[in-house]
Structure 1
Amino acid sequence: MLQPLLHDLVSTVMAPAAALSDADGQIRPAGVQGLFCADRRVLSQARLLVDGREPEAVGHAPVEAGRDRFVSLARWLGDRSADPTVRLDRLRELSPYGMREHLEIISTASATVTATVTLELACDFAEIEAVKGGNSATPITPTAPAPGELVWSSGPTHVTVTSAPAAAEVEAGGGRLRWQVSLPPRGRVRLSWDVAVSDSATVVVPPSAPLEWSTPRVTADDRRINRLMERSLEDLRSLRLAEPAEPGDTFLGAGAPWFLTLFGRDSIWAARMLLPLGTRLAAGTLRVLARRQGSRLDPHTGEAPGKIMHELRRSAFDLAGQDRRLPAAYYGTIDATLLWISLLHDAWRWGLPASEVAPLLPNLEAALGWLADHADPDGDGFIEYIDTDGRGLANQGWKDSGDSVRFHDGRLAEPPIALVEVQGYAHQAALHGAALLDAFDRPGAARWREYAGALAERFRAAFWVEGPQGGFPALALDRDKRPVNSLTSNIGHLLGTGLLSKEESAQIAALLAAPDMAEGFGLRTMSSREGGFSPLSYHCGSVWPHDTAIVIAGLAREGFDEQAATLAEGLLAAAESFGYRLPELYAGDARDHMSRTVAYPAACRPQAWSAAAAVTIAQAALGVYPDVPAGHVELRPLAGAPLGALTVGGLRVAGTEIEASVDHDGAATLTGLPEGLRPR
């Protein structure tokens, strides 16, 4: 079965619930359409009929997080004129445990209009991974225990639909609610129905804490920045999740509909990218993952002492289209542990109080223990992965599709795989861990600084290869320690990790801004010169906004302002194409081939780290780099203000809201710093 397409569906989300419908608001029994809650489809159909006919759609628009409005017409009703006189406004409102829809039928006709309104409902309780694989389940028959009510049940999950006013007719066998309506001249009628879901087996719940980040006030010459920031923060608000036992610790679900749960790497990166708006999300994410930190060796789950988990689901599940089955709590990730260390460090630099850092220091030491004892199974000095169980992910970096690690000629590399960016993460994690150990009077910092220095030398000797445009780090080392010599976006993640010399960083910056990598709408995941390149592949030529944003941040931090601005402009242009809701990924076509972005048809929207890219663009343009423990904030905006004048109020440093500005000439100002911090 083929994976169902998403690109033309409307996604309304309030985690852990997500509704996917056609653009007319109809949820049809096809593909991935439906209302999902905590990885189960709790409605597979919600189709509205007027006099047995589907209204004709004329438009839809987002309202705010978890709310969308759909407008349609019943042109066979009302006056016989060129203008339509009977309009239907369908407002969809999601809650974490269900959905409410309000239908307003509005008549501007000169005579009374009567009609029969029917809502056709179905529920199949299909698991999200089955749906992703192109499968479905047989709808079950509901009961009708009360007037205007339908109920479906399966194991721990119960779905109740109630109507207001109560539907005059209820057909339990067909799952239908029916109203008879009469609209006087220029009158209106309002109907509504509620979907309530109870599920005792869910592993994620809505958080009990208030919103963890500030709402920035953005004034920009380039209005795309304002629009992207506004829409992205609404999407991020809809992706907030917690665990049932600790609802006060919030993390971000990776993306809807496939990954609306805890993902170590994704949740960490999203929290890290949102640090300019506060440290509370980072703190919650760190604590959630620390509670699930590995304590034993288990080849089936990928668990190891000190390791940070990859993914949490309600039960074991099969990967779509693959002969692989992942356990409910899966640890098959090579980078989440390293990124957890750096998130703790960066949150501390942005002002996470010592009282919140200190309880996590044993987890830090355990994570460093994983780096020392389990991250390099063959002892060659590099961090590598292999799925020893044979049922987990074949590739365990952020490019985790089975065909993502390719040589220049397109051949697949054989595991164990040592990814290039992971060596940079390890180098940075060692230095970040050392800084935290020193600051909190814990032993071992010197060991980790020595480790970082030795890793840099090994890396320089083993990874650098020559290409038509000069030297660059290979994508990976394969099982025979051969450099996988394709040029990819992965090398951009090395910027800012300290692994590279200034000359090496300059060479990487030049390569990443060249046309074969950056002639589209952001940074391609693979150069168009490579044998494995395809603009609509998942990881070999597409553009991922979070990937581009990470590289923008590294370029800006290291002073490659022109290249950072080039990539930021690409993301802003892509955002405009997608109505400012950046998807998980999109096609890597050149702009002279396609003047607008082409959707990757199975990409999640919204996606947490894609939405967080908006904050990264603003952060890079403003150049605000705090070190609260050291008592200063560096201010180094992109030279010459390539994105125009920009002011962002509501940034948070050490829990205090500040304002940063850059004018048309690139001059920067910073106001509102808390006492004890000085600009530098």
Structure 2
Amino acid sequence: MSSRTGHAAGTRDHVDPRKVDPRKEAPMELQPLLHDLLAATMAPTQAWSGPDGQVRACGAQGYYHGDVRVLSSAVVTVDGIEPETIAAGPAGPGAVEMLALLRRADGPGADPTLALRRLRTVAPGLVRERLELTCATAGPVTLLLEATFACDLADMDRVKMGQRPAPVPARGSGTPQADPAHADAASWAREDGTRVTLSGAGARVDLADPLAPRLSWRVTVTPGAPTVVGWEVAALVPGGVVGAPADPRPEWSTPAVTGDDRRLARLLERALEDLAGLRMSASFAPDDTFLAAGAPWFFTLFGRDSLWAARMLLPLGTDLAAGTLRVLAARQGTVVDDETAEQPGKILHEIRTKALDLGDGERVLPPVYYGTVDATPLWVCLLHDAWRWGLAADQVEALLPAMERALAWMTDYADSDGDGFLEYADTGGRGLANQGWKDSGDSVQWRDGSLAVGPIALCEVQGYAHEAALAGASLLEAFGRPGADTWRAWAAELAARFRATFWVEDELGPYPAIALDAAKRPVDTLTSNIGHLLGSGLLSPAEEAVVARRLGAPDMSSGYGLRTMSSTSGGYWPLRYHGGSVWAHDTAIAITGLARSGQTAEAARLVEGLLAAAEQLGYRLPELYSGAASAAAPTVVPYPAACRPQAWSAAAAVAVLTAALGLRPDVPGGVLRIEPPSPSPVGAVRVDGLRVAGAALLVQVDAQGAVVTAATGAAGVRIDARPAARAAGGPGR
């Protein structure tokens, strides 16, 4: 994601934002921390508050619509005192709930007898807050409940850079009042047509201070009779390139999961609720839905992220994959443009309403930016996988011309120096220095910690390209189009070149390097990138066994997932964005590859790590967290600037479920193979409500990985429940 480069530009090492740089005698601008904030999202709108539910004018807190902060403060008081929050958390899709005590207004005795329940719900363009007062006092209690607001209409990139724009004065609106300091509602506006309106039923709207408008209610709370007040903020930000989908219903099924490990069901439930709040459509393809990459900074279409999330969700249906494929195909590259990194056939990296300032004084990304080397082969892989899961033939066929252009890009443009590998370079000079999924400036390092010099050929991208070539060949052949043999031959040559070039060795044995540098030298750091090679067909079974052993070793497996970089590397640090942290989606990709290649013991170890982390994180897996060993810390250590919810992190729950069941679809071939690992990494599990070829699928396995039940209503699809691959007898063990 593009904002990751902000980490490379000096915002990665976070300190107390109250500290002052003595050289400037002004607050330092630091990227806001997110780890303890409450978030509610329903794209393209989101609300962020402190853990107590109050929205304060600091950091990333506020209500947002599109890329504009439409409210920067909302602080509640009762009789002039802030409530004491004792519990808070998610309350379903697009909602959070807080429970607070009002002890200053309480009755006598030690027990709290007056409470405030605050429910915040987010819908596209609208945030509502419901405040419910209840009491168990001896009699009625009369209170003054007030909420004070501020609005700065700040652009998202300014907030991310740590800037604190001044509040904008509010204006009154509604029925004329006898007192000019009061109105029916407060509103804010800016010249580009952005409009924000704050209203509260039954509230007195005080505009005596237009920078801090206030709603107030004089209420009497009676035992046994809740008193409810509230407000809503409606926002309009014109010209948005992405927005809410036309249909509010998710494109995927919601399966019922029961089994020995209850963590899996809870993780899936939380994940699907979070994903429902990330659904989006684009103005240029309004009928298609995709997943925004994540909140708060990535609330838009990202090629790589949206593709991976849709790919992981395929066992729940193909509609999301189809929408994602079509919306990205609608903006597939057609010309060569160094400023935008566009090339014919290339799939974009991200799209925004306007240019994005990365905050380092040098890099500004254009509104439509193509600086990614991996989205194009991943697009082909998703099309193939969706076809295998049962995407209708006419929908697949309609996308084949885009697929042929994507395949051609791999040879015509991605291999800029003709060495047979896909590489990247920022030819425009103002884009991303690194253009794989690890796109921070220091993500490609030598083992001693020094940075590699580009153009860079990443190892996992060669795996994606190999898989895309074989996938494309299968589709071309199935639909009677030419070129299948050519792409199979190209894939075989790529595998041979990779085998001869990428492998390096340390004191523990061989492994693939993370990349080749500009001089075509293998960059020798051991990283999680090699996990993406598993199941791509690029490696032989013996090579996959070697990779599995390296991933499962203590320097890579933290106990809470897969580290992005080996702890033995010179650049390792557990809180380094791409140099030692754990990313849930990265771990899930490795789990999928390990399961596909029969390396079930290592897959089970990583599954347990993700579930252990999820349990400690409230079952909402963030963008990333610390790579500190589970035995060395009392709990998961957060990466304090990590975003959440994050589409591919949430989708990791489905990837884990798929790997545990061993699902191998081939709807065009008329078969669904079920090959669960043995023993099952999650114990006995029953999943009802998966989808294959548009029909329901039920799968149940026992603790040893034997299929107990498997049934589908998909016409023409036979279930082949094969003997499980045993952990003790997998290749290379």
Aligned partner of 2:188 among 152, 155, 158: 152
Deviation at 1:96, TM superposition (A): 1.2
Residue 202, structure 1, aligned to residue 240, structure 2: yes
Question: Structure 2 matches for 1:458-469, cutoff 5 A?
Answer: 458-469=497-508
Give the match for residue 565 of structure 1.
Answer: 604
SS, match of residue 64 in structure 1: coil
Partner Cα separation in structure 2 for residue 27 and residue 182 of structure 1: 25
Q: Which moved more, 1:640-649 or 1:537-546?
A: 640-649
Deviation at 1:204, TM superposition (A): 1.1
Partner Cα separation in structure 2 for residue 366 and residue 172 of structure 1: 59
Q: Describe the shift of the 1:135–1:94 C-alpha distance in structure 2 as closer, same or farther (beyond 3 A).
A: same
Question: Structure 2 matches for 1:389-428, cutoff 5 A?
Answer: 389-428=428-467
Give the match for residue 338 of structure 1.
Answer: 377
Deviation at 1:185, TM superposition (A): 4.9
Partner Cα separation in structure 1 for residue 507 and residue 167 of structure 2: 57
Give the match for residue 218 of structure 1.
Answer: 257
SS, match of residue 197 in structure 1: strand
Deviation at 1:320, TM superposition (A): 3.6
Q: Which moved more, 1:164-173 or 1:537-546?
A: 164-173
Residue 242, structure 1, aligned to residue 281, structure 2: yes
Deviation at 1:11, TM superposition (A): 0.8
Residue 556, structure 1, aligned to residue 592, structure 2: no
Task: Please tell me whether the aligned partners of residues 401 and 539 of structure 1 are also in contact (alpha carbons under 8 angstroms).
Answer: yes
Deviation at 1:514, TM superposition (A): 0.5
Q: Which moved more, 1:50-59 or 1:478-487?
A: 50-59
Give the match for residue 717 of structure 2.
Answer: 677
Spell out, residue by residue over 1:264-313, the C-alpha distance to the aligned partner (whole angstroms, 9 max, x if none). Answer: 00000000000000000000000000000000000000100000000011
Give the match for residue 220 of structure 2.
Answer: 182
Task: Please tell me whether the aligned partners of residues 203 and 216 of structure 2 are also in contact (alpha carbons under 8 angstroms).
Answer: no
Partner Cα separation in structure 2 for residue 273 and residue 640 of structure 1: 23
Deviation at 1:148, TM superposition (A): 3.0
Deviation at 1:9, TM superposition (A): 0.4
Partner Cα separation in structure 2 for residue 660 and residue 455 of structure 1: 37
Spell out, residue by residue over 1:350-371, the C-alpha distance to the aligned partner (whole angstroms, 9 max, x if none). Answer: 0000110111111011111211
Q: Which moved more, 1:262-271 or 1:632-641?
A: 632-641
Partner Cα separation in structure 1 for residue 549 and residue 304 of structure 2: 28
Aligned partner of 1:282 among 298, 304, 321: 321
Q: Describe the shift of the 1:426–1:150 C-alpha distance in structure 2 as closer, same or farther (beyond 3 A).
A: same
Deviation at 1:228, TM superposition (A): 0.3
Deviation at 1:180, TM superposition (A): 1.6
Q: Which moved more, 1:135-144 or 1:523-532?
A: 135-144
TM-score (norm 2): 0.91
Task: Please tell me whether the aligned partners of residues 171 and 207 of structure 2 are also in contact (alpha carbons under 8 angstroms).
Answer: no
Partner Cα separation in structure 1 for residue 134 and residue 665 of structure 2: 54
SS, match of residue 517 in structure 1: coil
Give the match for residue 155 of structure 2.
Answer: 127
Aligned partner of 1:666 among 680, 688, 705: 705
Give the match for residue 3 of structure 2.
Answer: none
Deviation at 1:673, TM superposition (A): 4.5
When the two chains are superposed, the root-mean-square deviation of aligned CA atoms in Å is 1.2
Task: Please tell me whether the aligned partners of residues 342 and 348 of structure 2 are also in contact (alpha carbons under 8 angstroms).
Answer: yes
Task: Please tell me whether the aligned partners of residues 148 and 169 of structure 1 are also in contact (alpha carbons under 8 angstroms).
Answer: no
Q: Which moved more, 1:634-643 or 1:174-183?
A: 174-183
Partner Cα separation in structure 2 for residue 180 and residue 472 of structure 1: 69
Give the match for residue 379 of structure 1.
Answer: 418
Deviation at 1:664, TM superposition (A): 2.1
Amino acid in the other structure paired with 1:410: G
Task: Please tell me whether the aligned partners of residues 168 and 179 of structure 1 are also in contact (alpha carbons under 8 angstroms).
Answer: no
Partner Cα separation in structure 2 for residue 82 and residue 392 of structure 1: 60
Give the match for residue 251 of structure 1.
Answer: 290
Task: Please tell me whether the aligned partners of residues 397 and 419 of structure 1 are also in contact (alpha carbons under 8 angstroms).
Answer: yes
Task: Please tell me whether the aligned partners of residues 261 and 682 of structure 2 are also in contact (alpha carbons under 8 angstroms).
Answer: yes
Amino acid in the other structure paired with 1:325: V
Amino acid in the other structure paired with 1:191: V
Give the match for residue 107 of structure 1.
Answer: 135
Task: Please tell me whether the aligned partners of residues 373 and 435 of structure 2 are also in contact (alpha carbons under 8 angstroms).
Answer: yes
SS, match of residue 677 in structure 2: coil
Q: Which moved more, 1:415-424 or 1:670-679?
A: 670-679
Deviation at 1:172, TM superposition (A): 5.8
Give the match for residue 576 of structure 2.
Answer: 537
Structure 2: tracts of 5 or more residues without a match = 1-28, 175-182, 721-733
Partner Cα separation in structure 2 for residue 431 and residue 172 of structure 1: 65
Deviation at 1:125, TM superposition (A): 1.3
Residue 72, structure 1, aligned to residue 100, structure 2: yes
Residue 323, structure 1, aligned to residue 358, structure 2: no
SS, match of residue 198 in structure 2: strand
Residue 588, structure 1, aligned to residue 627, structure 2: yes
Deviation at 1:333, TM superposition (A): 0.2
Amino acid in the other structure paired with 1:190: V
Partner Cα separation in structure 2 for residue 171 and residue 359 of structure 1: 60
Give the match for residue 542 of structure 2.
Answer: 503
Deviation at 1:78, TM superposition (A): 3.0
Give the match for residue 179 of structure 2.
Answer: none
Task: Please tell me whether the aligned partners of residues 647 and 660 of structure 1 are also in contact (alpha carbons under 8 angstroms).
Answer: yes
Deviation at 1:641, TM superposition (A): 1.6
SS, match of residue 326 in structure 2: helix
Task: Please tell me whether the aligned partners of residues 133 and 321 of structure 1 are also in contact (alpha carbons under 8 angstroms).
Answer: no
SS, match of residue 632 in structure 2: coil
Partner Cα separation in structure 2 for residue 439 and residue 37 of structure 1: 44
Partner Cα separation in structure 2 for residue 465 and residue 18 of structure 1: 46
Task: Please tell me whether the aligned partners of residues 525 and 544 of structure 1 are also in contact (alpha carbons under 8 angstroms).
Answer: yes
Residue 45, structure 1, aligned to residue 73, structure 2: yes
Q: Which moved more, 1:415-424 or 1:48-57?
A: 48-57
Deviation at 1:168, TM superposition (A): 5.8
Partner Cα separation in structure 2 for residue 534 and residue 607 of structure 1: 23
Deviation at 1:642, TM superposition (A): 2.9
Spell out, residue by residue over 1:355-401, the C-alpha distance to the aligned partner (whole angstroms, 9 max, x if none). Answer: 10111111011111211200011111110000011110000000000
TM-score (norm 1): 0.98
Amino acid in the other structure paired with 2:37: L
Task: Please tell me whether the aligned partners of residues 110 and 186 of structure 1 are also in contact (alpha carbons under 8 angstroms).
Answer: no
Task: Please tell me whether the aligned partners of residues 456 and 499 of structure 1 are also in contact (alpha carbons under 8 angstroms).
Answer: yes
Give the match for residue 24 of structure 1.
Answer: 52
Amino acid in the other structure paired with 2:263: R
Structure 1: tracts of 5 or more residues without a match = none
Amino acid in the other structure paired with 1:43: L
Spell out, residue by residue over 1:81-107, the C-alpha distance to the aligned partner (whole angstroms, 9 max, x if none). Answer: 211222111110100112000011112
Partner Cα separation in structure 2 for residue 158 and residue 319 of structure 1: 26
Amino acid in the other structure paired with 2:42: M
Deviation at 1:344, TM superposition (A): 0.3
Spell out, residue by residue over 1:580-631, the C-alpha distance to the aligned partner (whole angstroms, 9 max, x if none). Answer: 0000000001111013110000001100000001111110010011101111
Partner Cα separation in structure 2 for residue 272 and residue 405 of structure 1: 26
Amino acid in the other structure paired with 1:378: D
Identity of aligned residues (%): 56
Q: Describe the shift of the 1:168–1:675 C-alpha distance in structure 2 as closer, same or farther (beyond 3 A).
A: closer
Task: Please tell me whether the aligned partners of residues 170 and 178 of structure 1 are also in contact (alpha carbons under 8 angstroms).
Answer: no
Aligned length: 680
Spell out, residue by residue over 1:478-506, the C-alpha distance to the aligned partner (whole angstroms, 9 max, x if none). Answer: 01111100000000100011000111000
Partner Cα separation in structure 2 for residue 591 and residue 192 of structure 1: 43
Deviation at 1:37, TM superposition (A): 1.0
